[in-house]
Structure 1
Amino acid sequence: MSTTVTLAEEIALLSLDDESGAAKERSSAGWAVAGGILLELAMAGRVTVTDGRLAVTDTTPTGTALLDGRLAQLDEWTRRRERPRKVADWLTKDQSKAVTATVESLCERGLVVEERNRVLGLFPVRRYPEADGSVERELRARLTSVVVHGTEPDDRTGGLVALLHAAKLHRLAFPEVPRKLVSARMAKIADGQWAGDGVREAIRNMQAAVVAVTVVTATTTVL
């Protein structure tokens, strides 16, 4: 397995409570996790994301099990139709599976541990408390440097900020900083001017898709 923690794993780490292992902002974080895998595949040149549509352009393994597992599934899914598939449709289809695969990957890395319990002695519940906090500490320090202190982001960090902003996960990333103090900077980073054309387009398409599915989910929940 690759030693580099993926965008999806970083979002999952931010969403899991360090002590209880419970997922915070589960729905929005789930969409961002699925979007993180897709964005990383786009940045690795395995898929293209254009005008809200996606296509697999290279099935060569990346060397990261989490990404390669989703790439194989995505390739199979896109082959069922000749016309390009919608990004939002893939996120809707893959969200729960992507989250499960991402958390399993964190367990395999030894960053979290799985705990199984029952609520009221009846309903099985899984929690994933922190086992090794070094990666999350580095992650939060990097986000603080880029968003709070204005350091220029690299492609991956900029993409991560864009996903967090699209899914309105400001509080997960900066729990002790008022949203109004970070949202403008996150929006500017999400605009993608620091990135190359291909990465910028992928980020904007992913943002639009994540915003769309989170809004639909929120509306459905209210109704």
Structure 2
Amino acid sequence: MHVTLAEELMLLSLDDDSGVAKDGAAAAWAVAGGLLADLALAGRVALDEGRLSVIDPTPTGDPLLDERLERLVEWIGGKAPGKAKAAEWLTRDRATAVRAAVDRLCERGLVVEERHRVLGLFPVRRYPEADGSVERELRGRLTAVIRHHEAPDMRTATLIALLHSARLHALAFPDLPRARVELRFAEIAAGDWAGEPVSEALRNMRVAIAAITAVTVATAATAAIS
């Protein structure tokens, strides 16, 4: 079963048993970035020095990506030339991107939605695993690259770069020392595995995600201290 990078990131974030999203704030940035990355890999969007453009509005055939592509065409069309910034789009898209990715996972039967009420008042939704085959394959690919130092394919390298940019190393390898995982992730993220101009687009996006995530983490830490 072919799933998007955004869906793979959500599978890593969602706890298999409880269905609670781990590192939800940072994961949201990565999920939004995953949608852009897939569109870049498909030759639909380009990023140049932080500027975002649609270079081919033709649908990809994937409902999740095509919905985002339509939104991007409309959003960029309302901007002055050269004013559509990747960081602005990611900020705008992160909440709805998560919702869209989770809904798609439910449609595929990979997770199931459970509704509860906290204190009998506040409705919450959880998404425990229903079919673990896709996540097992995903984690197997990551294990081969990180534990056994096999060369990643382009999609796995892109996924690792997104995880690294959003500081989500523990989602992929909670049982390994963070320093070890981070070093290998950084090595892969710096590699030239996609070819130009896609590599340039993905580098631009990773820079945007890393910068936004750093601000988010710093803000959360300040709030916790105060």
TM-score clears 0.5: yes
1:180-206 deviation digits (Å, cap 9, x = unpaired): 122111101101323312222122111
* Structure 1 segments (4+ residues) deviating >3 Å: none
- Deviation, 1:175, is 1.1
Query: Contact 1:47–1:54 at 8 Å: present in 2 too?
Result: yes
Number of equivalent positions: 221
Aligned: 1:87 with 2:83: no
Q: Which residue of 2 aligns with 1:110?
A: 109
TM value normalised by structure 2? 0.95
Q: Which residue of 1 aligns with 2:53?
A: 55
Which stretches in structure 1 are left out of the alignment for 5+ residues?
A: none
Q: Which residue of 2 aligns with 1:201?
A: 200
Query: Contact 1:31–1:214 at 8 Å: present in 2 too?
Result: yes
Aligned equivalents of 1:101 and 1:195: distance in 2?
Answer: 26
Aligned: 1:150 with 2:137: no
- Deviation, 1:218, is 2.4
Aligned equivalents of 1:76 and 1:180: distance in 2?
Answer: 42
Which stretches in structure 2 are left out of the alignment for 5+ residues?
A: none
Query: RMSD across aligned C-alpha pairs, in angstroms?
Result: 1.0
Q: Which residue of 1 aligns with 2:22?
A: 24
- Deviation, 1:87, is 0.4
Name the aligned partner's letter for residue 150 of structure 1.
H
Aligned equivalents of 2:165 and 2:180: distance in 1?
Answer: 16
Instruction: Please point out which of 57, 63, 77 is paired with 2:75.
Output: 77
Aligned equivalents of 1:99 and 1:116: distance in 2?
Answer: 17
Aligned equivalents of 1:108 and 1:213: distance in 2?
Answer: 30
Aligned: 1:39 with 2:47: no
Of the structure 1 ranges 204-213 and 93-102, higher mean CA displacement relative to structure 2 is found in 204-213
Query: Contact 1:190–1:203 at 8 Å: present in 2 too?
Result: no
Name the aligned partner's letter for residue 86 of structure 1.
K
TM value normalised by structure 1? 0.96
Query: Contact 1:145–1:151 at 8 Å: present in 2 too?
Result: yes
Q: Aligned to 2:21, what secondary structure does the other structure show?
A: coil
